[in-house]
Amino acid sequence: MHIFNDIVGQEKAISFLENILEHGTASHAYLFTGPDGVGKRTTAVSVAAALNCAQGGCGSCAVCMKIKNGAHPDVESIKPAGNSLKIEQIREIGQSIGLKPFEGKRKVYIIEDAHLMTVEAANALLKNLEEPPAYAAFILTAAGADSLLPTIRSRCQEVVFRAVPPRVIQSVLLAAGAEDDAAEIATALSGGSVGKAKRLVIGGAAGDIRAIILDRAAEISEGSIIDVFAAKDALLPLAKEKDKGDGSSIEAEALAILGSWYRDLIVLRETGNESLLINKDRASQLTLAAERISSANAAAALDILARAGDALRTNANKDLVLEEALLAINCMPPTVARLEG
């Protein structure tokens, strides 16, 4: 089906969906799980188009275009308002679901980041999932199935999306005209997300986040608390560019990029081999910083960042999670290297 042509590296999920769509056996609720930015949302929109397109998902007719552009009255995307999906948002579904589709065949509700539903919202959704009208379909997206109430999970069929393999991402970037080095760096930082890798190469918010964080990376561990807040404030103007549609947050990207910095420091200290760096374009800056941090402290920083990454999934206040992680790194005891120096 042409409608799925843009989705890279999810062959298993797509062939499963194509199969049920072709046979007209789509159930009324699906749960797409997988890491941020691997195509869950794009696929959900494509399924909505396939359910409504007269050709079963041609990708180019007026119906498909309208759905892709978010302008179709029968396809509704519900995403977290602020840091959670609230009951008022789910109640709106309850109000509209009883009305037959305005112009399409199916009414499709796409609920993004469903793991951010409050308990009240989840219970309200449950009522809609229990006995939906035949024309209604739900597609929920979430990082993992276990972050949802079992009662919600049991009413949805799960479709698993995986991190896209690095070689696939790299080939997409090279095909889009990226230089070898840039493609390699972006792939390493992408966390398996084609969308994020593309944005790192083409610039935009992801490229800016990388520049902001790496410019200040040394200060975050070596500087004062003022430097930590300055680094965080520098990210603020990007907040409005947030939510480019692949579900990744500025905070998550900042943590991942800082993680690549400490990973590179460990590599430099343990091997001295610049060709193994992720941030090859920052080799000289990394070499200086590597002299001032012990491998143990760099590993401790990685640990802090990993735990913060986990906390982002469940914690409503992403900004606070990032701040705590940066402060924890800043407050680590002086390194052996620093004491010796």
Interface with Zn ion by CB under 5 A: which residues?
53, 58, 61, 64
58 vs 160 by CB, closer to Zn ion: 58
User: What does the alpha-carbon distance between residue 196 and residue 204 come to, in Å, rounded to a whole number?
Assistant: 10
Is 86 strand, coil or helix?
A: coil
Cα separation, 230 vs 28, in Å, equals 48
The least CB distance from residue 55 to Zn ion, in Å, is 5
- Asked whether the beta carbons of 93 and 127 are under 8 A apart, the reply is no
Residue number, 68 or 269, with CB nearest to Zn ion? 68
The alpha carbon dihedral of 14, 123, 114, 77 has a sign of positive
> Residue 21 or 305: which CB sits closer to Zn ion?
21
Give me the helix-helix angle, 204-222 and 194-202, nearest 10°: 80
Structure tokens at 21: 């769509």
Min dist. Cβ of residue 25 to Zn ion (A): 20
What is the smallest separation between the CB atom of 51 and Zn ion, expressed in angstroms? Answer: 11
Q: What are phi and psi of 116, to 5 degrees?
A: -90, 10
Which residue, 50 or 90, has its beta carbon nearer to Zn ion? 50
Which CB sits closer to Zn ion, 49 or 308? 49
Q: Which two tokens stand for residue 332?
A: 């680590």
CB of 14 to Zn ion, least distance (A): 17
The residue (of 63 and 293) whose beta carbon lies closer to Zn ion is 63
Q: Which parts of the chain are beta strand (E)?
A: 29-33, 75-78, 107-111, 136-142, 157-160
Q: Closest distance between Zn ion and the C-beta of residue 15, in Å?
A: 19
CA distance 317 to 29: 29
Q: What is the dihedral of CA 80, 81, 85, 90, to 10 degrees?
A: -110
In the complex with Zn ion, the residue whose CB is nearer, 58 or 174, is 58
Taking the complex as a whole, the smallest distance from the CB of residue 2 to Zn ion amounts, in Å, to 8
- Secondary structure of 160-200 in the HEC alphabet? ECCCCCHHHHHHHHHHCCCCHHHHHHHHHHCCCCHHHHHHH
Q: How far is the CB of 16 from Zn ion (least distance, A)?
A: 20
